[in-house]
Every structure is written in C-alpha cells, then in structure tokens.
Amino acid sequence: MEEASSPCHSHSHSHSHSHSDSSPCCSCWTTYVMVAVCVVVPLLYQTSRIFKYYFKMCLYILTVNIIALGAILYALPRPRNTANTSFVVFMVKKFLMKLLGVEVTVRGEDKLKQQEPAILCINHQSSVDMLPLFYTWPKNTVCLAKKELWYFGTFGLGAWLCGTVYIDRLNHERARKTMEDTANLIKTNKFKVAIFPEGTRNHKGSLLPFKKGAFHLAVQGQVPVIPIVFSSYDTFYNRTEKRFDEGRVLVEVLPPIPTTGLTAEDVTDLTEKTRNVMLEAYDRISEEVKTMK
C-alpha cells in the first residue's frame, strides 16, 4: 500500500520549488540590466552630446564632493590651514583632470612662487574653473568666495577648512567686515588671496565688468595685483550647447601690477587697468588654444 504524501511535505516541496525558480529569474534580470547599462551608457556617451554633457557634469560634481570629503578628513588635525589645499591640488592634478579628459598648460607660473602677499585676480567662466584654478594654485593662498558655496555639499566645509573666506555679498556690513578681516590676514600671514573680480560666472565669453572689492583690498594692503587668465573653455565645454568634451585650458599669469603709494582714489583706474590687460590676454590665448593639440 502506497504511503500518502503529507500535505506539509507537499507544500514545503512546492514552496522550495518556487524559490528555486524565482532565484535564477532575479539573477537573469540583474544580468540583463548590467549588460544593458554596460552597453547603453558607453554607446550614448559616444553618440549623444547631451547625454555626455550631463554624464560628465554629474561625474564632476560627485567627484568634487568626494575629494572635498577627503579634504575634510585631511584638514581636521589642522583646520583653516592653507597647507590643507595640497590634498585638493594633488587630487585635481592626478585624478580629476584625467577623469574628465582636460589638460592645463600654465605660462608665467614663476610669478606665483615668490613668498610675498598679493591679490590674484582670475576670470570666472563656470564651475569647471576648479580645474585650472587648482592646477595653478600657489602655496599660502586663500580664496575669497561667495557665501552660497558653503551649502554646496561637502565642498563648502572642505573649502572652509582649507582657509577659504566666505563673503556675504547681500549684506553690505558683513561684506565690509569680511574684507577688513581679509586685509588683516594679508598683513599678518602674508597670504595671497584669490578673487574672481567679475563676481559671477560668465558663460558668454569675454570678461564682465570688474567689481572693485579686490582692488580696494590690494590698495589697502599695498600689495600687488597678479592677473591670472584662463582661456575660453568653448573648444570643449559650453553649458548652453550642452557640450562637455575633452580639451585643453591655457593659463597665463601676467606681470604683477604694483599698488605701492596708491590710495582709494586710484582704485577705479587700477580696476580698469587690470581688466584691460586681462581682456587682451583672454582674447589672445583663447585664439591660441584653438590651435593647440
């Protein structure tokens, strides 16, 4: 006489059967998705300008915040020390630039190696400025930046720990106090201060009118203005056209403009003089970079 199979046994057998059936199914779907991603992403990257732009911008922002997290950990034993920036400089030169396929060529870098304080005036095109900025970054330098950057992920805290001075441009009294404190830093610590005198990003080429804060600071501290010019990124990067290819930036460090003996009355002339020499250099090297391989 045959033994009747127990309901429990039968249920358990069918239950395990369904599990064994679903597991390969899940595994297959995971494999399909991974294969699709590995095939589709490189294909879109090579064939779609817009996809490549957004992919590289997301990669750039993510990597910048990871580097900033590393900078935070590196800077914790000595917060607000300008030497902490060496970590960021290393990561930008050895990793981030290679990841994005951007090369930087610097001319006149010897003008930044002197240990004397100065105001570094730099043209401002986009967030991509971080690449040539940290490739050129001299020792004992702090950056004067808008307060809004404090809220940009880990970047804000990382930059602050590296010595960045944040300025509240919407509050005149606080901005004035920040500039006074920065002037004291220049005198006591012989810092170089990096400033974007246009005050905002200029995506349309050329240079915007300069704000006078950097030049008041230079005259107040009686320190030279050193103009630093980044060539146009238009050969590889254009936000309007949604284009972010591989390319090259040409950086030119211009001769220092002395401020010894100048007063507040000379600030307007100093501002215009600096902008004029930077504009001439910008137009010249932006044409030259088009011919560089």
- What is the overall mean pLDDT for the chain? 91
Encode pLDDT of 143-162 as tens digits. Answer: 999 999 999 999 999 999 99
Assessment of whether the complete model's pTM goes beyond 0.75: yes
b/e 135-147 (16+ beta carbons within 10 angstroms → b): bbbbeebbbbbeb
Nearest alpha-carbon partner for 146 in 125, 173, 164, 119:
164
SS (HEC) of 222-253: CCCEEEEEECCCCCCEECCCCEECCEEEEEEE
Amino acid at 174: R
| Per-residue pLDDT band at 23 (split at 50, 70, 90) | low
| pLDDT tens, residue by residue, 71-82 | 999 999 999 999
- Residues 6 or more apart whose Cβ sits within 8 Å of residue 214: 119, 121, 144, 193, 195, 197, 225
What is the model's pLDDT at position 30? 86
pLDDT over 90 at 8, yes or no: no
pLDDT of residue 21: 53
Give the pLDDT confidence score for residue 26 in this predicted structure: 74
Q: What is the pLDDT of residue 157?
A: 97
pLDDT of residue 14: 46
Backbone phi, psi, residue 76, to 5°: -55, -40
% of residues, the chain, pLDDT over 90: 78
- State yes or no: pLDDT of 50 exceeds 90: yes
- Report the pLDDT value the prediction gives residue 76, as an integer from 0 to 100: 96
Binning pLDDT at 50, 70 and 90, where does residue 6 land?
Answer: very low
- Once rounded to an integer, what is the mean pLDDT over residues 190-196? 96
Give the burial string for 176-200 (b: 16+ CB within 10 Å, else e).
eebbeebbebbeeeebbbbbbbbbe
Q: State the average pLDDT over residues 116-141.
A: 96
pLDDT of residue 111: 96
CA distance 291 to 205: 18
pLDDT score of 22: 54
Can you tell me the mean pLDDT for 264-285?
Answer: 98
Residue closest to 207 by CA, chosen among 198, 215, 220: 198
CA 244/CA 237 separation, integer angstroms:
4
Q: How far apart are CA 236 and CA 20, in angstroms?
A: 52
C-alpha 222 chain-centroid distance: 29
- Using one digit for the tens of pLDDT, what is the confidence trace for 239-264? 999 999 999 999 999 999 999 999 99
Half-sphere exposure of 256 (CA within 13 A, CB side): 20
Q: Predicted confidence band at 206 (pLDDT cuts at 50, 70, 90)?
A: confident
**What pLDDT is stored for residue 31 in this prediction?**
86
> CA-based angle 260:261:265, to the nearest 5?
115
The arithmetic mean of pLDDT across residues 224-229, rounded, is: 98
